[in-house]
């Protein structure tokens, strides 16, 4: 199965990566390269839309965690969009549901940052984003 990555700006200072297909040992390097490029372009507030993801393995999880570390070193963050039970279960089992803020839609992820002094409920415990 192929991996399709589409990047777009959803709001000022917020970049969405829409991912579809399988994130596995063969395709995860493409996602990692995109995350590294976005950080190099000083895009530190990312939303990874995983609604089209059919499979996620430990390599894909590692890429997401590595990307989170990169953006956090610049006071950024990565929010995830996912409603699929089988993918959400992977995040719960690994404890990463406490590390990433996971939303039902890109709009919800954007709204969580639109209100002053707001943070995602039950999420990673990240500090509030720096003003943009």
Q: Which pLDDT band, with edges at 50, 70 and 90, does 8 fall under?
A: very high
Per-residue pLDDT tens over the stretch 58-101: 999 999 999 999 999 999 999 999 999 999 999 999 999 999 99
Fold classification of 3-105 is Transcription Regulator spoIIAA (3.30.750)
93: CB partners within 8 A, 6+ apart: none
State the greatest distance between any 2 C-alpha atoms of the chain, in Å, as a whole number: 41
Per-residue pLDDT tens over the stretch 98-130: 999 999 999 999 999 886 654 444 444 333 333
C-alpha distances out from residue 17 to 46, 94, 121, Å: 7, 22, 22
Q: Where exactly are the structural domains of the chain?
A: 3-105
Provide the b/e sequence for 29-62 (b: ≥16 CB within 10 Å): ebbbebbeebbeeebbbbbbbbeebeebeebbbe
Per-residue pLDDT tens over the stretch 11-35: 999 999 999 999 999 999 999 999 9
State the pLDDT at residue 119: 46
CA 109 – CA 55 distance, rounded (Å): 22
State the pLDDT at residue 33: 98
């Amino acid at each position: 199965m192929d991996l399709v990555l589409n990047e777009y700006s959803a709001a000022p200072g917020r970049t969405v990566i829409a991912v579809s297909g399988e994130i596995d040992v063969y395709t995860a390097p493409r996602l990692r390269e995109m995350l590294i490029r976005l950080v190099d372009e000083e895009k530190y507030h990312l939303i990874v839309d995983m609604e089209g993801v059919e499979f996620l393995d430990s390599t894909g999880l590692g890429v997401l965690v590595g990307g989170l570390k990169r953006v956090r070193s610049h006071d950024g963050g990565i929010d995830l969009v996912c409603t699929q039970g089988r993918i959400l279960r992977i995040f719960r089992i690994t404890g990463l549901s406490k590390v990433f803020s996971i939303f039902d839609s890109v709009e919800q992820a954007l709204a969580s940052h639109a209100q002053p002094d707001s943070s995602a409920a039950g999420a990673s415990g990240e500090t509030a984003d720096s003003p943009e």
